[in-house]
Structure 1
Amino acid sequence: MISRQGTTDDDGTLLETVRLLLRPWRVEEAAIHRELWTERDPRVPAHRRIDADGRPSVADLEDRIRRTAHAGGPGLGLPALERRAERDVIGYCGLIEGGPGAHALDPEHPGPEIAFELLRRTQGQGYATEAARAVVQWAQEAGVEQLHATVWAWNAPSRRVLERLGFVTMRTQTTENGPGELLVASKIL
């Protein structure tokens, strides 16, 4: 579970679990963020993969990190996941406001949607579940009443994480020119 919340130290840690720190991305970690893009399954929609021009580049992602750092605002966002023992970033986990799952279930009042992604070499070790559990707890303590999630039907590992956390598939939708069915899940907090 969460052992600390809030930005209480110099690295800006938002949440801390037994093995992970969830904290803002640093500009020098843009290459890790790009690695996530390069590892994505070819079934992921094209706008979420590296394009023919090699975009987003490391420089693009550095700029995005700089803009995000100055944007501030309430909420959790998509912080970097840093392994405490190894001191390396392995992905992200957090909340986005009004994501596709939230809009699909309640277009008038979209709420926060949980999102996570880990480098392939760190998958299957329980990090996504541990981080997502901390994010769900954070949301609950922040007064959020319901979380949403979207996951491709073919993405069995992410579906298992959501099931472990108690998310229930509420709707299945086929996207135009998409790579199969998109499952929209929800969890009452």
Structure 2
Amino acid sequence: MALRPVREDDVDRLCLLNSEPGVMRYLDRRPPSRDAVEAEVAELLRHRARHAGFGRFVAEDDGGTFLGWFGLLSDGAGVPELGYRLRRGAWGKGLATEGGRALVDHAFELGVERVVAEAMAVNAGSRRVLEKCGLRHVETFHVPFDDPLPGTEHGEVRYEITRTDWLRSRGADGVVLPGA
């Protein structure tokens, strides 16, 4: 799998991803409109210009087939948030963990002190991925929604990994330790 920065010509791929059954299950009742995706891509391009090294990255397999995206978006205060969305055909293959780990490493190589991520508490798959990427659960919180998704009553969860924990998970020579 290869990651590259999102481009304007990715809008169709992103719309296709959002419309796949199950992809938006923990995010929204229906996929965003094409206009909303175009606006989001425009904002992502502006974000990348303001925050070098951060942004949304398209994931492709060795043949160039679109698999989804990974995001490492800076909040402007130096605490980037990790996120991802994969096509159903890419689920269960370890790609979310592979891409997530790559972006966590990238964030710390850029000099950040911590990386955060959020998910619905009932989203067990994403929570496992975050843990495999080295993030630890730090908080469960509740957000009021006008039209809550099933499972919202269990709350949202916040995960994080600090630079210290990231360095601890690696040997002094930068080699990842077994079981880390």
Aligned partner of 1:76: which letter?
F
Provide closer, same or farther for how the CA distance between residues 67 and 142 of structure 1 changes in structure 2, counting only shifts above 3 A. closer
Asked if residue 188 in structure 1 is aligned to residue 162 in structure 2, the reply is yes
Alignment partner for residue 27 of structure 2, among 23, 40, 44? 44
Shift in Å at residue 27 of structure 1?
Answer: 3.3
Kindly provide the CA deviation profile for residues 116-175 of structure 1, in whole angstroms up to 9, marking residues without a partner as x: 110111111111111111101111111111111101112111111111112111110111
| Farther off after superposition, 23-32 or 141-150 | 23-32
Partner Cα separation in structure 2 for residue 69 and residue 174 of structure 1? 31
Identity across aligned pairs (percent)? Answer: 29
Asked if residue 127 in structure 1 is aligned to residue 114 in structure 2, the reply is no
Shift in Å at residue 90 of structure 1?
Answer: 1.1
CA contact (8 A) 2:78 2:112 kept: no
Alignment partner for residue 170 of structure 1, among 119, 138, 155? 138
CA contact (8 A) 1:28 1:62 kept: no
Shift in Å at residue 63 of structure 1?
Answer: 5.5
Partner Cα separation in structure 1 for residue 8 and residue 116 of structure 2? 29
Q: Could you say which residue in structure 1 is the equivalent of 2:178?
A: none
Aligned partner of 1:125: which letter?
K
Superposed CA RMSD: 2.4
Shift in Å at residue 75 of structure 1?
Answer: 3.1
Alignment partner for residue 145 of structure 1, among 92, 107, 113? 113
Matches within 5 A, 1:1-189: 20-39=1-20, 40-46=23-29, 49-50=30-31, 55-57=32-34, 60-62=36-38, 64-65=40-41, 68-69=44-45, 72-73=49-50, 74-83=52-61, 85-98=62-75, 111-177=79-145, 178-179=148-149, 180=152, 181-189=155-163
Shift in Å at residue 35 of structure 1?
Answer: 2.0
Shift in Å at residue 67 of structure 1?
Answer: 5.7
Partner Cα separation in structure 1 for residue 44 and residue 25 of structure 2? 27
Partner Cα separation in structure 2 for residue 43 and residue 133 of structure 1? 22
Tell me how many residue pairs correspond in the alignment: 153
Under a length normalisation based on structure 1, what TM-score does the superposition of the two structures give?
A: 0.71
Partner Cα separation in structure 2 for residue 28 and residue 65 of structure 1? 9
Structure 2 stretches of 5 or more lacking a match? 164-180
Describe the SS at the equivalent of 1:79. strand
Provide closer, same or farther for how the CA distance between residues 32 and 152 of structure 1 changes in structure 2, counting only shifts above 3 A. same
Under a length normalisation based on structure 2, what TM-score does the superposition of the two structures give?
A: 0.74
Describe the SS at the equivalent of 1:143. coil
